[in-house]
Amino acid sequence: MSSISQEESWLPVLPESHFPIQNLPFGVFSDGGLDTIGVAIGDRILNLAALANAGLLDGVCEREILNAPVLNPLLAAGRGVWSGLRSRLIELLKTNGDSALRDLNDHAMFVVQREVSMRLPTQIGDYVDFYSSLEHATNLGKLFRPDGDPLMPNWRWMPIGYHGRSATVVIDGTPIRRPCGQRKLPTASEPTFGPSARLDIELEIGFLTGPANALGQRIPTGAARDHVFGLVLVNDWSARDIQAWEYQPLGPFLGKSFATTISPWIVTLDALEPFRMRGPVQDPAPLAYLACDDSWSYDIALDVAIQSEAMRARGLAPHVVSRTNYGMMYWNLAQQLAHATANGAIAEPGDLFASGTISGTTPDSLGSFIELSWNGTRPLSLPDGQTRSFLQDGDRITIAGTCRKSGERTIGFGSATGEILPSDAC
Ligand code: MN
């Protein structure tokens, strides 16, 4: 693959933009009409349906794939098409490349990002959430089971996960209604039903899959590159009180399935290639089906910011409560996909696999409020004078991610935001 780290686009792109020509993430937008596939460049979106219909992608990608209202057909088309399309888009957008797009001088080819709304990029058939941060799993183990070994004996042998609810995955900006549910205080003899009092976030990265495996046939770690299209930011909203009461013996259920937010732009593995890194040493060595020669971690800096209703009223900017990095996750995406299909289960185009909460080793690098506030014993101070252990109505949470490296143009994921609405009558 030829390096594009020094290329510039003939379209103006601000230096701090997450979307230089090196990124070109895929998403689905609507300007009030049809849902349309596009790639982000600077503060614009290049309309790929219009580009295909103008004949500029002929021989690279079938027009009907790019005229779909979701990215599933493109994700089904496979790595050859993905990489060919990316190369062609770079040629059309770079200075001194193919001038065909520039010569068209057709303003309908581009829309301004802030003037359109973003949609879910794929129709998500299945959603899996892992639990792959050693630090997060250890912290949650200590908080949920203070008397036992924080890590379950299986944790270092396989990427633990659960099946989430794909229909409640929502796009950036969708308000999050505080869920009702059954919960039991440790001091109470019986549970009650009502609004969650321990609403939380989980800072995660998810990957979306490409061509399906056949039923009964697994996707080995060595084939991950052909089956993973790209990555998005994920906020796995969690009701800790509902979760704590329900999670044994079968795992998370209604404490998680009310909403999961993703960012609108899928950053491709091709764009992330310069930011690949070696993950942590795994001990014990994984079983053969999880063995993995390549570096499958990615250096992605992440942060979480909160803005309360009172902060907004006073014009106070969102307050960053955590900074962490995806790169040190114990289990990587190739192992997660190999494990999720190890029994022959199918991963289809557009399915979502989230990493699990990404927590670092320091108190300011934790990916959830239950960890940041240590189960409410160390409330966080906000700039408006309030404190937070868990989320209040009106709180707005924004997660963001960027990849920075010396000699490389910075690329980013944009952000994913959700604001907490009061519960309906329970
Ligand atoms: Mn999660």
Ligand 1 centroid vs 203 CA: distance in angstroms?
A: 8
**Is residue 136 among the annotated active site residues?**
yes
Stretch among 55-59, 63-67, 120-124, 148-152 having the lowest mean pLDDT: 148-152
Ligand 1 centroid vs 236 CA: distance in angstroms?
A: 5
What Å distances lie between residue 13 and 20, 23, 43, 81, 403, CA to CA? 6, 12, 7, 26, 17
81 and 153 assigned to the same domain:
no
Q: Is residue 11 part of a domain?
A: no
Q: In this model, does residue 2 exceed pLDDT 60?
A: no
396 and 360 assigned to the same domain:
yes
Q: What is the mean pLDDT of residues 34-52?
A: 98
From the number of C-beta atoms within 10 Å of its C-beta (0-12, 13-18, 19+), residue 336 rates as: buried
Show which of 119, 139, 167 is a domain's final residue: 119
Position 327 scores a pLDDT of: 96
Assign residue 62 the CATH number of its domain: 2.30.30.230
Q: In this model, does residue 1 exceed pLDDT 80?
A: no
Q: In this model, does residue 186 exceed pLDDT 90?
A: no
* High-pLDDT (> 90) share of the chain, %: 95
Question: 136, 163, 319, 339: which is the annotated catalytic residue?
Answer: 136
Ligand 1 centroid vs 341 CA: distance in angstroms?
A: 19
Q: What is the pLDDT of residues 203-217, one digit of tens each?
A: 999 999 999 999 999
pLDDT band at 293 (very low <50, low <70, confident <90, very high): confident
Position 68 scores a pLDDT of: 98
Show which of 101, 119, 137 is a domain's final residue: 119
Q: What is the mean pLDDT of residues 323-338?
A: 97
Position 37 scores a pLDDT of: 98
Q: What is the mean pLDDT of residues 193-209?
A: 98
Q: What is the pLDDT of residues 234-248, one digit of tens each?
A: 999 999 999 999 999
Ligand 1 centroid vs 177 CA: distance in angstroms?
A: 18
Rg over alpha carbons for the chain, rounded to the nearest Å, is 22
245 and 371 assigned to the same domain:
yes
Q: What is the pLDDT of residues 126-143, one digit of tens each?
A: 999 999 999 999 999 999
Q: What is the pLDDT of residues 295-305, one digit of tens each?
A: 899 999 999 99
Residues with CB under 5 A from ligand 1 (ion): 129, 202, 236
pLDDT band at 144 (very low <50, low <70, confident <90, very high): confident
Both tokens assigned to 66: 């790019």
180 and 31 assigned to the same domain:
no
Assign residue 256 the CATH number of its domain: 3.90.850.10
* Residue 413 near residue 231 (C-beta atoms within 8 A): yes
Q: Is residue 2 part of a domain?
A: no
* Residue 399 near residue 413 (C-beta atoms within 8 A): no
Q: What is the 3-state secondary structure (H, E, C) of the chain?
A: CCCCCCCCECCCCCCCCCCCCCCCCEEEEECCCCCEEEEEECCEEEEHHHHHHCCCCCCCCCHHHHCCCCCHHHHHHCHHHHHHHHHHHHHHHECCCCCHHHHHCCHHHEEEHHHCEEECCCCCCCEEEECCCHHHHHHHHHHHCCCCCCCCCCCCCCCCEEECCHHHEEECCCCEECCEEEECCCCCCCCEEEECCCEECCEEEEEEECCCCCCCCCCCHHHHHHHEEEEEEEECCEEHHHHHHHCCCCCCCCCCCCCEEECCCEEEHHHHHHHEECCCCCCCCCCHHHCCCCCCEECCEEEEEEECHHHHHCCCCCEEEEEEEHHHCCCCHHHHHHHHCCCCCCCCCCCEEECCCCCCCCCCCCCCHHHHCCCCCCCEECCCCCEECCCCCCCEEEEEEEECCCCCCCEEEEEEEEEEECCCCC
71 and 133 assigned to the same domain:
no
Q: Is residue 155 part of a domain?
A: yes
275 and 355 assigned to the same domain:
yes
Query: Is the pTM for the entire model greater than 0.95?
Result: yes
* Residue 74 near residue 37 (C-beta atoms within 8 A): yes
114 and 165 assigned to the same domain:
no
| Nearest of 192, 133, 178, 181 to residue 325 by alpha carbon | 133
Show which of 83, 102, 119 is a domain's final residue: 119
Q: What is the pLDDT of residues 78-127, one digit of tens each?
A: 999 999 999 999 999 999 999 999 999 888 899 999 999 999 999 999 99
Q: Is residue 381 part of a domain?
A: yes
Both tokens assigned to 150: 């924080």
142 and 57 assigned to the same domain:
no
Question: Phi and psi dihedrals of 136, rounded to 5?
Answer: -65, -45
Ligand 1 centroid vs 28 CA: distance in angstroms?
A: 25
Ligand 1 centroid vs 132 CA: distance in angstroms?
A: 9
Ligand 1 centroid vs 131 CA: distance in angstroms?
A: 7
333 and 288 assigned to the same domain:
yes
Chain mean pLDDT for the chain: 96
Q: Is residue 373 part of a domain?
A: yes
Ligand 1 centroid vs 32 CA: distance in angstroms?
A: 33
Position 15 scores a pLDDT of: 93
Q: Is residue 13 part of a domain?
A: no
Residues spanned by the domain of 150: 127-421
44 and 184 assigned to the same domain:
no
* High-pLDDT (> 70) share of the chain, %: 99
394 and 322 assigned to the same domain:
yes
Ligand 1 centroid vs 422 CA: distance in angstroms?
A: 22
Both tokens assigned to 207: 């990957």
Number of domains in the chain: 2
36 and 142 assigned to the same domain:
no
